[in-house]
Amino acid sequence: MEISITVKDNITPEENVSFLTDITPLEILYTKKGSAFWGNKVDTNDAMLINFLNLSNLCKEKLGFPIKFTEIPTTQSLESTKDSIYTLHIMAGLSGDLIFPEQSIDIHNKSNLHWGQQYLDLYMDLSPYLERFCPEAILNFEKYPQIKDNFIIDGKVYAIYTGMPSITALALMVKNELLEETGVDINTIKNVDALYEFMDNLYQGNEPKDGFNKIWVSGGTLLHYAICNSDYYDYGSSLFTMNDEKCTPYFLEDTEIIDYFLNKFNKFFINGYFTTDSNTLYENIIIQTGLQDMVLISWSPHITKALSQYTDNEQDNPFHKYSIVLFDDMKPVINQFNAFIHVMVPTTCTHPEKALIFMQWLMTDKEAADILTFGSQLMNLQHYRFSEDGRIIPEKNNTIYAFCNLIANFSDKAFLYGKYDVIHEYKEKTYQAAYPVLYRLIDSDNERYVKLSTLISSITQPYNSLITKRNRYLRNSIEELLLNPNSNLDAMRIKQGLDEIGDLEDYKVIVAETIKEALKQLMK
C-alpha cells in the first residue's frame, strides 16, 4: 500500500497494522436519484459507473486494493425511527467503509438523512487517525474554519470535508476574435468598472448599433450581484443580512439593494451597453450560438457542463470561440443549504486507517484528479477526447465536475475556454466565501433543514399570488432598464411599485416568527 513515509516511520511494534496488507475492496456507500449527485448532475447516458471502475483500478494500482461503490436502494422499507437508509444499513451490521452522501436532502421521505446529533453514534470518531492518515482533511478544516463546529462535536471528528461548496461568482465570456481585434487581455476585465471602461473605449458612450455587440446579461444576474455586495442573501422570498444571528427577514424595498444596483449599473443602462432576452432562461443557449460578443453570467461548474453539449465541432464550439474571466468584485457567498458534504466512516468499518489513506490519496493524486474532473475513457465509452493541440474536449455525454462538491481535486491538464480554465480560481474563492448564518445553523442537522423547508413552504403558499406579481414586476422593471436607455425608472419608483402590489407585512411577520421558532428549537 502506498502510504507516506511519516506514517511508516511512526508505526510502533505493538500497533495493529493489518490495514497495510488488507487487499479487500474498500466499500463506499451512496444513494442516488437517477444518479449520484456530488457536483454537476449526471444522468444514465453519462455513464458515471465507468468512473467508479477506473477509480477502482487506479486505486488498486496505487494503493494495492480496489474500491467498491455500493448503492443503497432508496426503496427499501423505512421502519427505523430515524427514517434513514444509512441508519438501516449500519444498524443492520451491513458492510461499509465510507459514506458519500448526496448533497440534496429528501425532505419528503427523509430517506437520505445522515447528519445531526441523532446520527453521530453511527459514525467513527476520526480524530485519532487524521494527522497520520489524512492530513489533507485537517488542512481543509483550516481553509474552511466556519465548518469546524458542524463536523467536530465535543472534540470528536465525525466527518471530514474533502470538497468545495457552491458559491456566488460572476464571470465574463468574450469572443476571442474581439479580444484579438482590440488587443485586450481578458484578465484586465475582472470587475464591473473595468467592463464599463472596456465598453466605453469601444463605443465612446454611444449605444452599439447591433444587439450582438452589447453585453448579454439576465436581470437576475445583476440583481444577485447587488444583493451579495450589499451584504444580504436570499432564502425563499425573503432577504437576510449576512451575519444577523436573529435572521430577521426583509423585502427588497426595505433595503438599499436597488440603490446599489442602480449606482453600479446605471451608466451601462443609459449608454445601452446591456441587452437581454426574457424568453431565454439559460445563458448557455445564448453562448452556444456564438453570435453575442460578450455574455455576463453567474458562473458555477454547471455552466461548463451545459456548454459541453455543443462541442461536436472542434473549431465551431463555445469553448473555442470564447475566453472567460471570473470577476473579483463580487462577494463570494455560499449560496445553498448543505453546501458542505460530510464524508463519514461508519462504525461497520474494520480499518478506518485504510479508509482515510484512500481519502488522502483521492484528494491529492493527479491521475485521480483527471477522472474526478473530466471523467473517463474506457473502450468505446469516452467522456472526452483530445484536440490536435492536446486540449481536452468534453463529449456530449460526460461527467465533467461531477464530483466537485464532494472531492475538490482538479486536473491540471489543458482545457478549453480559450486560454483559461476558471475552476481553480473558483475553488480559491470558496475559501473566502461568506457562510450565511441561517445556512450555517440549519446545516448542522438534516432534520432542521426538513422542518424549516416544510414550514416555509406551508406559510408561503397563501401568498404565492402576491409574490408572483412582485417577481414579475421586478423582472419587467429590470428588463426595461436593460433594454431602454431612456427609461425614467429610478430606485424610488421601483421600490414604490413593489410596495403598491400588495400588503405582505403579515407574511414578513409570519416568516420572522417561523425562523425565530426554528432557531429556538435549534438552540435546545
The mean pLDDT of 39-67, rounded to a whole number, is 95
The CATH number of residue 26's host domain is 3.40.190.10
CA distance 215 to 193: 14
- Whether 84 maps to a domain, the answer reads yes
pLDDT confidence bin for 6, thresholds 50/70/90: very low
Q: Are strands 384-386 and 152-153 parallel, antiparallel or unpaired?
A: unpaired
How crowded is the C-beta side of 43, counted as CA atoms within 13 Å? Answer: 5
- Whether 275 maps to a domain, the answer reads no
CA distances to 70, 74, 84, 204, 403 from 35, in Å: 13, 12, 18, 51, 12
- Whether 247 maps to a domain, the answer reads no
Q: Say how many domains are in the chain.
A: 1
The mean pLDDT of 448-458, rounded to a whole number, is 86
Task: Give me the pLDDT at residue 191, please.
Answer: 98
Residues near 522 by Cβ (< 8 Å), separated by ≥ 6? 441, 442, 444, 445, 448
**Residues 388-427: pLDDT tens digits?**
778 888 899 999 999 999 999 999 887 766 566 799 999 9
- Cell 478549453 -> residue: 416
Helix axes 352-364, 366-374, angle to 10 degrees: 70
CA distance 370 to 364: 11
- In terms of Cβ atoms closer than 10 Å to its own Cβ (0-12, 13-18, 19+), residue 176 is middle
- Whether 314 maps to a domain, the answer reads no
Residues near 180 by Cβ (< 8 Å), separated by ≥ 6? none
- Whether 204 maps to a domain, the answer reads no
Residue 15 confidence (pLDDT) above 80: no
- Whether 134 maps to a domain, the answer reads yes
> Which residue stretches of 208-256 are H helix?
219-229
User: What mean pLDDT is reported for the chain?
Assistant: 90
**Residues 68-112: pLDDT tens digits?**
999 988 754 444 444 689 999 999 999 999 999 998 888 887 888
pTM, rounded to two decimals: 0.92
* Distance, CA of 217 to chain centre: 21
- Whether 30 maps to a domain, the answer reads yes
CA distance 294 to 309: 20
- Whether 155 maps to a domain, the answer reads yes
CA distance 451 to 455: 6
Q: Which residues constitute the domain of residue 57?
A: 21-165+338-377
